[in-house]
Amino acid sequence: MEKGRTGCGALRAADEGSVVELCGWVNRRRDHGGLIFVDLRDNDGVTQVVFDPQHPSFQAAEHLRHEDVLRVRGTVRRRPAGTENPKLATGEIEVGVDELEILNRAQVPPFAVNSDDPVDENLRLEYRYLDLRRSRMQRNLRLRHRIVKAMRDYFDSRDFVEIETPMLMKSTPEGARDYLVPSRLHPGSFYALPQSPQMLKQILMIAGFGRYMQIARCMRDEDLRADRQPEFTQVDVEMSFCTQDDVLEIMESGMRYVWKAVLGVELPPFARLTYDEAIARYGVDKPDLRFGLELSDVGAHFAGTEFGVFASVLGAGGSIVALRYPGGASLSRRDFDALTETAKQFGAKGMVWVAYAADGVKSSASKFLSEAQLAAVRAAANAEEGDAVLLFADARELAYGVAGKMRNEVGDRCSLRDPRAFAFCWVLGFPYLELDEETGKPAPAHHPFTAPAEGQWELMESDPMQMRAQHYDMVLNGYELGSGSIRIHKPEQQRKIFEMLGLSPADVEHRFGFFVRALEYGAPPHGGMALGIDRIAMLACGEENIREVIAFPKNQVGRDLMMEAPSTVPEQLLRDLYLRSTVPADGSR
C-alpha cells in the first residue's frame, strides 16, 4: 500500500476517528437526494464512503457513475446503531468524505463489473480488463498466484533450483505441431517455441544441477478444449540419481504441501493404479476416483449366446463391458436412446441396456438374454433394484474406452462428481509401445526419452508390445495433471529408440545430435515430471474451464478477442523475414 493510503478492506471499528485516504472504483452508488453513499472498491475490499449535502464535494458525488476512479480523504466513523452491514468486512464503519478527487471517469461498462452474474464469454474476453475486475477472476488469479508461490517455496525447500530455458528453441519432428518463429539472421530457418523444456532439463541433469524446477511456459499448436490452451504453464521438474518412487514422493508431497498451504486441505496418500487396472476398472488412463461405478467384463456369461452382436464380438476375441447406472431403471426408452446416441459419439457401435425395475426387468435385447444372464450381469455390475446396467460389446480397447467415457457421463447425470472433492491418483506401468494407427508399427507411447521398466530392454527384441515404461501420470478428478518418467541415460539405448522410430543415423544427428552427444559425456541416471498449472488452478478454483484461471486466454479458434491476435502484419515485416504469404488476398484457402 502506498504511503498514507488505506486499503478498502482494512478499516474496522477500532479505526474510528482516524483520517484516511482511500482509492478505488465506484462499485455502487446509493443517492438519497440529501445523502449519497458510495461503495468504493479496490483489490483489498469495499468501504462505504458517505457524502453529506453541506460538503462541497456533494455535487460532484451526484454525478459519480459505476467504475469511476476516485481518491477520497475522510474520517472513519462508526455507523449509526442499527445501520451496520454484517455482510461487509468493513460494515461497522464508514468514511465521511472531506475531500473527493475524481481520478478518472469510466464509460458505462458493457456488463456489470460489480457482480459475478453470467455474461457471454465473447464479451468477457473482449473487455477482459473489466472481466478481470470482477470478483470471480480476482479470486481465481489470486488463488493461482498462491499455488505457484507455494510450489516455488516447496521445491526451494527441497533444494531444487529454478533455471530458465529458452523460448526460441529447435523444432523437433514428433509430438504436437510446433509454433514456428522465422529467423531474420538466417533466411529460411526457423526457431520453434517450446512444447516443453524436455531435452534442456535433461541436459541440466547432465550439467550437474541435480535438482531442477521451472515454472515453464509451453506452446503446442493443436486444437483447443475446455482444459487445453495453445500456451500453458507447467511446473517442470527433473532430478538426478533418482528412482521412480523418488519422483513420485517429491511430486506427491508437493501437491500435498500446496493443497494444505493454499486450500487448507490435508490430502490423503494418493491411490496408485497400474495402467491395466485403470483400464479394466474405469476404462480410461485418467480415472475420476470421486465415485465408484467400476466396470466389469461380462463376456464369460455370454459364451454360446444366440445374440448375434455379442456372439460376433466374442468370436472375434472382443469384450462385453458392463456399467452400472444408479437409479437408471426409471429412465424411459427415449432416455436410453439418447444415452445410446451419446455412446455412439464416443465410438460405440451400439449399446444394450438392462433396467432392473421393481416391476420386472426390461432390456433393449430382452429376447436374447436369459434369466441367468440377466442375473449374472446384475451381480457383476453390483446393480440393485432400481438400477440399470449398460453393456458395450466391441473390440476390447474400444469397448472399455466407450464404457469409460460413459462412466463419466453417468457420473455427471447422477451428480457423483462433487466439485469440492479432490481424488488424486497415480497411474503407473504404462505400455512402452503402442501401435501407430497409420503405419500399424510399434511406436513409443510417450516421448522417446522414456526408459523401459527395469530389466525389460530384452523384450524389445522378443516381445516388444509387452514392454512397460517407467512412466507415470498424476490424475485428479479425471483430469491428467501431468506425466513424467525415468529417462534413458545411456547413449546407445537412446540411439536404439531413435532407430526404432525409423530415424536414420543422419536424421538422429540432424535433429538430436546435440542431445545424444550430451549423453555421451557422463549423463547421470535421471527422471522427472511436469504438471499443468492451469489445470491444477482450475480444479483448485472449482472451475470447469481453464480460461477461468488464465488472465488473457485464447478462444476455441486460438484468437485473443481483446487485442485481436493473430493479425496480418505489414509487408515489410514479412520481407525482413524472407517470407511471402500463399494466402490469397481475399483470405480464402
Partner RNA sequence: GGCGCUGUAGCUCAGUUGGUUAGAGCGCCGCCCUGUCACGGCGGAGGUCGUGGGUUCGAGCCCCAUCAGCGUCGCCA
Judged on CB neighbours under 10 Å (0-12, 13-18, 19+), 573 is exposed
Cα–Cα distance measured from residue 481 to residue 473, given in angstroms and rounded to the nearest whole number: 7
Q: How far is the CB of 567 from RNA (least distance, A)?
A: 13
In single-letter form, the type of residue at position 354 comes to V
Q: How far is the CB of 124 from RNA (least distance, A)?
A: 8
Return the closest-CA partner of residue 34 out of 62, 56, 60, 68. Answer: 62
Cα–Cα distance measured from residue 433 to residue 435, given in angstroms and rounded to the nearest whole number: 7
Residue 480 backbone dihedrals phi, psi, to 5 degrees? -75, 115
On whether the CB atoms of residues 475 and 428 are closer than 8 A, the answer is no
Cβ-based neighbour number of residue 286 at 10 Å = 19
Cα–Cα distance measured from residue 220 to residue 482, given in angstroms and rounded to the nearest whole number: 15
Q: How far is the CB of 197 from RNA (least distance, A)?
A: 9
Largest CA distance in the chain: 95
| Nearest to RNA of 221, 311 (CB atom) | 221
Query: For residue 166, what is the DSSP state?
Result: -
Cα–Cα distance measured from residue 487 to residue 494, given in angstroms and rounded to the nearest whole number: 9
| Nearest to RNA of 111, 190 (CB atom) | 111
Return the closest-CA partner of residue 300 out of 225, 361, 372, 351. Answer: 372
| Nearest to RNA of 83, 581 (CB atom) | 83
| Nearest to RNA of 54, 572 (CB atom) | 54
Cα–Cα distance measured from residue 115 to residue 101, given in angstroms and rounded to the nearest whole number: 25
| Nearest to RNA of 122, 581 (CB atom) | 122
Q: How far is the CB of 78 from RNA (least distance, A)?
A: 9
Q: How far is the CB of 280 from RNA (least distance, A)?
A: 19
Q: How far is the CB of 112 from RNA (least distance, A)?
A: 6
| Nearest to RNA of 285, 297 (CB atom) | 285
Q: How far is the CB of 174 from RNA (least distance, A)?
A: 4
All three cell numbers of 91, joined, read 460494515
Query: For residue 66, what is the DSSP state?
Result: T
| Nearest to RNA of 36, 425 (CB atom) | 36
